[in-house]
Every structure is written in structure tokens, then in C-alpha cells.
Amino acid sequence: MLEGKNTPDHDNGKHIFLPEDLILEILVRLPVKSLIRFKSVCKEWKPIITDPNFAKSQLNHSKTSKCMSSSFVIIRSDNSMFMLNLDLNNLASRKTEDIKGKFVPISPRFNPSLERQGYNILCSFKGILCVYVCDTENIFMWNPNTNESRLIPSPGGTLRMIGFGYVSSTNDYKIVLVSWSTFIKVYSFRENKWHKKDYTSTCQYLYDINTKAMFNSTYLSTLVLIKKKFRSDQKISNQIRPDQIRKIQIRSEITKNKKQLQ
């Protein structure tokens, strides 16, 4: 790309070896897709790229730079999963034909025979999927980019998945499950543990208005608490962080819309 450009005549023909800290400064500025490809450059690069702290700095970089990092879409057909990689920077100029044929079949290393067992992709957030395997009732957190996964310990009991997200303040992924009685369970990726949280007895159950509930940075913002004691138009929206539940009033225009619908 830059070959053949004018070269000040220093150490001609000799390569300049960059020290590891500068290599890291360059790698951290690359999009995910390039990084995954460059894992196979040499044995020195692979651990740098797969280090979780590196991933965090890379994410911060891609957020601050105006260049959008690449995103992907997972498409599930009957028997297999496919991944379509989107370069959001060039999306506008892309023709539909360019996108065709770029679906790549993927298969989770934690369970290559997933399709035979039945599975649900419960939620996704920032490139991490939360997958429920029906046969074994196991929940996995899976990064399809790196094909790394973790089996989540069983929360016990019948619980409903409502949220999955990343809490930037503690650098932790969390899963929120709700029982139909009076508690929720919050899984912390960092601690690899479930925590049971009670909430006020007047709240009968949590209801997800949108099954793609996710944390908005620190708050799980799409949960709606329904209080049984209230009439149906008095739903209370909650901005909820797994470790602190606090109520806020639902915005009036939403309430109004609901009334019109009824």
C-alpha cells in the first residue's frame, strides 16, 4: 500500500523492529475483524490480542475514534448459524450483491452439535451471545468472534431470562433472571456467581417490555415493573441496575399512548 513511496535513506533495506509496547499501541487501534485475522501472524501477537484487558482498551479506542468498529449479524436457519460481517464504515457504498455470499457458517466450539439439541439465543450484547441449550438446560456465554465460551452455573429453579449486558463501571457482564415470585437473580461474569436480590413485595413480577432487554451502560433500562395492585395503565417503569432497584415514573406520553390503545 505504501510501498514505492519516497524513503529517506536510513538503514536501507533493513527492517525496523517495533518493541512490543508500540506494537500494542498500533493493534489497539485496529477493528475487531483485523485483530482476529492477525491472531495467526505469530505466537507473540496471539496472546496480546486475546488478552481481556487488551479487548477492553480496544473497545474504548473504537468508541472514542470516529471510525466505527465492525459489527456482525448472526442469522439462524434450521440447522446452522451464519455470521454476516458488516463494515459499518462502508455500508452506504455497499451494494446488496457485495453482501451476498459473505455469510460464513459458524459453529460454537462449546457445543458443535448445537442444532441437533435445540437452542435459543437468549440475548446478545456487544458481541457476546447468551445461548440456552434446551436438552441440557445449560446457559453459555459465547463470543462468536473468538469462539470462546463459558458455561454459566445453573441458577436453579424456573426462571425467566430478561436481561444481559455489560456494566462498564465494574467491567462485568451480567445476566438477569426473574422468578415469577419476588426475586430476581443476577449473574456476575466476573465472580462467576449468581446473586439473589429481593425486591419490594408490592411488585409482583417483572415483565420485559422488549425481550431484547439490555443494559444501557450501567442501567437495565427496558424493564417494566407491573404492580398488581395498580390498574393496568399505571405501569411503573424501572431503571434497574441489578444491585439496586429504584422506581421512576413512566413518561407521561407513553402512559397517554397506552390509554389511547386501550
Partner 1 sequence: MASSSSSSLSRVVVKSSDNNLFVVNKKVASQSQLLKQCIDNMEEKGTNDVILIPLSNVTSNILTLVLEYCEKHADFADDDNNNQELKQWDHEFLKKFDYATLNSLTMAADYMVTKSLLNLCCQFIADSIKDLTVQQIRQIFDIKNDFTPQEEADIKNENAWAFR
- Interface with partner 1, residue 40, by CB under 8 A: yes
Can you tell me the distance from the alpha carbon of 223 to that of 100, in angstroms, rounded to the nearest whole number? 36
User: Considering only residues 36, 48, 203, 226, which one is a binding residue for partner 1 as defined by CB under 8 A?
Assistant: 36
How many residues bind to partner 1 according to rule CB under 8 A? 52
Mask of contacts with partner 1, 79-98, x by CB under 8 A? ----x-x-------------
- Interface with partner 1, residue 39, by CB under 8 A: yes
User: Considering only residues 20, 37, 134, 190, which one is a binding residue for partner 1 as defined by CB under 8 A?
Assistant: 37
- Interface with partner 1, residue 52, by CB under 8 A: no
> Closer to partner 1 at the Cβ: 101 or 156?
101
Can you tell me the distance from the alpha carbon of 224 to that of 13, in angstroms, rounded to the nearest whole number? 65
Q: How far is the CB of 17 from partner 1 (least distance, A)?
A: 7
> Which is it for the CA torsion 129, 56, 219, 262, positive or negative?
negative
Three cell numbers written together for 168:
462498564
DSSP string, 197-240: EE--TTEEEEEESSTT-BEETTEE-SEEEEETTS-GGG-EEEEE
Tell me which residues in 15-34 interact with partner 1 (CB under 8 A). 15-19, 21-23, 25-27, 29-31, 33-34
> Closer to partner 1 at the Cβ: 31 or 165?
31
DSSP string, 44-92: THHHHHH-HHHHHHHHHHHHHSSSPPPEEEEEE-SS-EEEEEE-TTTGG
Which residues does 224 contact at the CB level (< 8 Å), separation at least 6? 206, 207, 208, 209, 235, 236, 237, 238, 250
Q: How far is the CB of 112 from partner 1 (least distance, A)?
A: 12
> Closer to partner 1 at the Cβ: 79 or 169?
79
> Which is it for the CA torsion 155, 160, 166, 170, positive or negative?
negative
Tell me which residues in 128-157 interact with partner 1 (CB under 8 A). 145-147
Name the site residues for partner 1 (rule: CB under 8 A). Answer: 1-11, 14-19, 21-23, 25-27, 29-31, 33-34, 36-46, 65, 67, 72, 83, 85, 102, 104-106, 109, 145-147
